[in-house]
Amino acid sequence: MTVAFDEMTNADGSVRAAYTALARWLSNVPPDVLDHRRKEAEFIFRKIGITFAVYGDSDAQERLIPFDIIPRVLTGGEWSRLSKGLEQRTKALNLYIKDVYSKREILRAGIVPEDLVYQNPVFRPEMNGQKVPHDLYVHIAGIDVVRIDSETFYVLEDNARTPSGVSYMLENREIMMRLFPELFAENRVAPVENYADELLATLKSLAPTTATSDPVVVVLTPGIFNSAYYEHSFLADKLGVELVEGRDLFIKNDIVYMRTTEGPKRVDVIYRRLDDDFIDPLAFRPDSVLGVPGLMSAYHAGNVTLTNAVGTGVADDKAVYSYMPEIVRFYLGEEPILKNVPTWRCREADHLKYVLDNLHELVVKEVHGSGGYGMLIGPRADKAQIELFRAKLKQDPTNFIAQPTLALSTCPTFVEEGIAPRHVDLRPFVLTGSDRVRIVPGGLTRVALQAGSLVVNSSQGGGTKDTWVLEEN
Amino acid sequence: MLSRTADNLYWLARYMERADCLARLLDVTQRLAQLPVAYGGSTNEWRSALLTAGCADQFKQLHGDDATEQNVINFLAFAPENPSSIRNCFEIARTNARSVRTALTIEMWETINSSWLELKRYSTKDMTREELARFLSFVKETSLRFDGAAYRTMLRNDAFWFSRVGMYVERADNTARILDVKYHVLLPDSEHIGGPLDYFQWSSILRSVSALTSFHWVYRESVKPWLVADLLILNAQMPRSLTSCYQNISRYLDDIAAYYGRQGTAQRLARSTFTRLSNSRMDDVFQTGLHEYIETFVSENNRLGATVTEQYLL
Q: What is the pLDDT of residues A374-393, one digit of tens each?
A: 788 888 889 999 999 999 99
Predicted structure pTM score: 0.83
Give the tens place of pLDDT for each residue, A50-91: 665 544 444 445 667 889 999 999 999 999 999 999 999 999
Do residues B245 and B178 make contact, with C-beta atoms less than 8 angstroms apart? Answer: no
Which member of B101, B260, B314 has the closest CB to residue A262? Answer: B260
Tell me the chain B residues in contact with residue A243 when contact means C-beta distances shorter than 8 Å.
Answer: 101-102
Q: Mention every residue, 6+ apart, whose C-beta is less than 8 A from residue A383.
A: none
A288 vs B297, more confident: B297
Tell me the chain B residues in contact with residue A229 when contact means C-beta distances shorter than 8 Å.
Answer: 98
Q: Mention every residue, 6+ apart, whose C-beta is less than 8 A from residue A343.
A: A318, A321, A322, A401, A402, A403
- pLDDT, position A370: 65
Do residues A219 and A249 make contact, with C-beta atoms less than 8 angstroms apart? Answer: no
- pLDDT, position A62: 64
Looking at residues B130-158, what average pLDDT do you find?
93
- pLDDT, position A473: 62
Q: Is A237 on the interface with B (CB under 8 A)?
A: yes
C-alpha dihedral (A88, A93, A95, A100), degrees to nearest 10 = 160
Q: Is A369 on the interface with B (CB under 8 A)?
A: no
The C-alpha angle with vertex A154 and arms to A375 and A459, in degrees rounded to 5, equals: 40
Type and span of the H or E element at B201: helix B196-208
Q: Is B117 on the interface with A (CB under 8 A)?
A: yes
> Residue B107, class by beta-carbon neighbours within 10 Å (0-12 exposed, 13-18 middle, 19+ buried)?
middle
Contact B110 A261 (CB under 8 A): no
Contact A49 B109 (CB under 8 A): yes
Do residues B224 and B286 make contact, with C-beta atoms less than 8 angstroms apart? Answer: no
Contact B98 A48 (CB under 8 A): no
**SS3 assignment for A172-237:** HHHHHHHHCHHHHHHCCECCCCCHHHHHHHHHHHCCCCCCCCCCCEEEECCCCCCCCHHHHHHHHH
Q: Which of B3, B12, B102, B115 to mutate to test the interface with A (most CBs of A within 10 A)?
A: B102
Question: 3-state class of B34 per DSSP?
Answer: coil
- pLDDT, position A456: 80
For residue B258, what is the nearest residue in chain A, using CA coordinates? A262
How near does any CA of chain B get to the CA of A226, in Å?
11
Contact B2 A49 (CB under 8 A): no
- Count of CB atoms situated within 10 Å of the CB of B63: 17
- pLDDT, position A57: 43
Contact A259 B2 (CB under 8 A): yes
Q: Is B258 on the interface with A (CB under 8 A)?
A: no
Alpha carbons A134 and A205: distance in angstroms, whole number: 9
- DSSP secondary-structure letter at A167? H
- pLDDT, position A58: 43
Q: Tell whether ipTM is more than 0.85.
A: no
Q: Is B16 on the interface with A (CB under 8 A)?
A: no
For residue B308, what is the nearest residue in chain A, using CA coordinates? A261
Give the tens place of pLDDT for each residue, B160-187: 999 999 999 999 999 998 888 777 766 6
How near does any CA of chain A get to the CA of B6, in Å?
7
A-facing residues of B in 142-161 (CB < 8 A) are 158
- pLDDT, position B32: 81
Please report, rounded to a whole number, the percentage of residues in chain A having pLDDT higher than 90. 72
- Count of CB atoms situated within 10 Å of the CB of B49: 29
Question: 3-state class of A127 per DSSP?
Answer: helix
- pLDDT, position B197: 77
